[in-house]
Chains A and B, each alone.
Chain A
Amino acid sequence: MHEYSAWDDERASEIITPWCTVEGGMLPALHALMAEFGAVPDAAVPLLAQQFNLSCAEIRGIISFYHDFRSTPPGRHVLKLCRAEACQSMHGATLAENLLARLGLTWGATTTDGALTIEPVYCLGLCAVAPAALFDEVPQGRLDVARLDRLVTAAR
């Protein structure tokens, strides 16, 4: 389970500063913001632009290019379900669709109680134990309805 800080310009600037002088420091800076705030919100754009000496448009372009960078924090728990071929071959797609339908969610959405976000992921390298997922960064293999239910219960 992740505890994220509420957005704070000053704290965000402190996080960004050391990466400005590092070769290719943009992605590490964005990951560091994600780790602290669970998101890279719009408020981060002018701060990044100023410190990296780039335009706001360029910063937006970078953030929006990568699937990982969310604009709002996820729920207290995150379940990353693999949608790629190896998991499809073990009927992962049906498993995922049924779970989303049962929770009334779409990919990337969070349950109304803020407990669980379900994100799509294309391959976790767990293709030998498909269908697979990461639950708060803990790998989960050979998923079935019962195991998924246990994870959802654990999240709530």
Chain B
Amino acid sequence: MSARVFLPIDAGALALGADDVAAALAAHASARGIALEIVRTGARGLYWLEPLLEVARPEGRIAYGPVSAGDVPALFESGFLDGAAHPLRVGRPEEIPFLKRQTRLTFARCGIVDPASAADYEALGGWRGLKRALALGAAASIEEVVASGLRGRGGAGFPTGIKWRTAAAAQADRKYIVCNADEGDSGTFADRMIIEGDPFVLIEGMLIAGYAVGASKGYIYTRSEYPHAIAAMNRALAAARAGGFLGADIQGSGFSFDLEVRVGAGAYVCGEETALLDSLEGKRGVVRAKPPLPAIQGLFGRPTVINNVISLASVPIILAEGAKHYQGLGYGRSRGTMPIQLAGNIRYPGLFEAAFGVTLGELVNEIGGGTATGRPVRAVQVGGPLGAYFPPALFDTPFDYEAFAARDGLIGHGGVVVFDDTVDMAAQARFAMEFCAVESCGKCTPCRLGSTRGMEVMDRIREGREVEKNIALITDLCETMKFGSLCALGGFTPYPVISALTHFREDFTRATARHAAAE
């Protein structure tokens, strides 16, 4: 007997013992004389079900999860290879409500495709975007991206196609495509999932970008904290090169392009695009003043398109299906889909790709199922460590760049971190300042000094010393940091601080009474 199963190699699944499950599957299959092929895929993004084991059946895949190594003998006993009943059987993954509600464009193949196989990528619809781009020509490909309305998924939300136009128009001896895979925001893992689960879609997106703007070389700058993503990306690059999708004269098109992975070294600020470019050049990751824009003078002084992983990974589907298809989804000026990451203290954590416009309340309560601890939700931080904390009173906010900005927040890279009612919001505000102090590149004063002073002021507030005076001081300091910093690190650290103060002021004044009593 022979059978084929799929088990994630995604770091999140590995963290829950997927490798032990794989070893147990192999051992039991061989003991039973079954020729079992275990395909290690990315994750579907339903982390409460990981490790999620899927069996290939004529009617489609049948999933079981969460599976531990100890469950494997019973799974064989019950005949899971035939899709038989078992307490862990969740049926067809596509029918799980969390997945069924999604609109998967960028993540269409993630968790399904073999991330090490260029052939599997092609069989599942890969390279169609590149082929259409080559047929359309460079200028028309850029206009397709402009027309799709795609905005930078790293957080800034700048129109991707406009960046490309600028770089295409710049004259230089060489140009670069840089993929910002320095996904440092807590609560985000979409870049990691794509790189581990469908790296070829990123390669295809970068090829299209390179072809469109006339670049010959690309870099994927990722994090040392992502060892599995680095390995997956390098495997995929080797496979793409072997398949004639990287190197000279790609697929006989006359277009030559190559890609390389570069690894950061634990500096959060290198996720800021100009600091990333300095780091790629081998320097301290210090933020550059803009202008000049990277599209005109970027890596090594050459025109450079620098885009987030998800922006680039969304390009192939836009080219393959046409701009209208993508542009037709969304809300207001936020077009297409956003891979939203539900994280932290949430019952159903995972990746939820949907058209813009879903409300924060739907995400946290309906889709996410509330907290993992079962306690009431108190605060939700959206957009990473530089994002605002939202109370349930603002849960009607639609997931949209402008709607979040209008409520003094940001969607950033799409991370949603849920906290229950045990959270101390003054401590979270203090942490925001501490994080900024640890990670500041040091170039501008509001960030370098403001973050340390902010930490000290927060300490005084938490000790109950002259609380009202210190609240006025931290508010003033946040104004200075917001308007005086060179980049988003110093400029946006005030978001978590001020939002915590605005919506959870009682946590800032709680120590006052205690301190007064002590004196």
Question: Do A85 and B186 form a contact, CB below 8 Å, given A28-B262, A127-B341?
Answer: yes
- Cβ of B15 and Cβ of A127 under 8 Å apart? no
Question: Do A134 and B415 form a contact, CB below 8 Å, given A68-B265, A123-B184?
Answer: no
Residue of A nearest to B189 (CB): A125
Q: How many residues of B contact A (CB 8 A)?
A: 63
Q: Give min CB distance, A94 to chain B, whole Å.
A: 10
Residues of A within 8 A of B300 (CB): 23-24
Q: Counting CB contacts under 8 A, is B490 at the interface?
A: no
- Cβ of A90 and Cβ of B186 under 8 Å apart? no
- Cβ of B265 and Cβ of A66 under 8 Å apart? yes
Q: Hey, what's the 0/1 contact readout for A42-75 against B, CB within 8 Å counting as 1?
A: 0000000000100000000110011111000000
Alpha-carbon separation in the docked complex, A31 to B227 (Å): 13
Partner of A86, one of B45, B282, B343, B431: B343
Alpha-carbon separation in the docked complex, A30 to B282 (Å): 10
Residues of A within 8 A of B45 (CB): 128
Residue of A nearest to B190 (CB): A125
- Cβ of B345 and Cβ of A134 under 8 Å apart? no
Q: Counting CB contacts under 8 A, is A137 at the interface?
A: yes
Interface residues on A, range: 35 or more
Q: Hey, what's the 0/1 contact readout for A115-156 against B, CB within 8 Å counting as 1?
A: 000000111111111101010011111100000000000000
Interface centre among B229, B280, B283 (most CB of A within 10 A): B283
- Cβ of A68 and Cβ of B184 under 8 Å apart? no
- Cβ of A31 and Cβ of B263 under 8 Å apart? yes
Residue of B nearest to A64 (CB): B284
Alpha-carbon separation in the docked complex, A121 to B422 (Å): 23
Q: Hey, what's the 0/1 contact readout for A81-92 against B, CB within 8 Å counting as 1?
A: 010111111110
Residues of A within 8 A of B418 (CB): 89
Interface centre among B185, B188, B266 (most CB of A within 10 A): B266
- Cβ of B225 and Cβ of A121 under 8 Å apart? yes
Q: Give min CB distance, A72 to chain B, whole Å.
A: 16
Q: Counting CB contacts under 8 A, is B150 at the interface?
A: no
- Cβ of B435 and Cβ of A122 under 8 Å apart? yes
Residues of B within 8 A of A109 (CB): none
- Cβ of B224 and Cβ of A123 under 8 Å apart? no
Instruction: Scan residues 398-449 of chain B and give those whose CB is less than 8 A from a CB of chain A.
Output: 415, 417-420, 422-423, 428, 431, 435, 438-439, 441
* A-B residue pairs, 10 tightest by C-beta: A26-B282, A141-B15, A84-B186, A67-B266, A66-B265, A127-B343, A89-B344, A139-B15, A128-B349, A128-B47
Can you list 16 A-B contacts (CB < 8 A)?
A25-B282, A62-B282, A67-B266, A68-B224, A89-B343, A89-B345, A122-B435, A124-B225, A124-B226, A127-B188, A127-B344, A128-B47, A128-B189, A130-B344, A137-B227, A142-B16
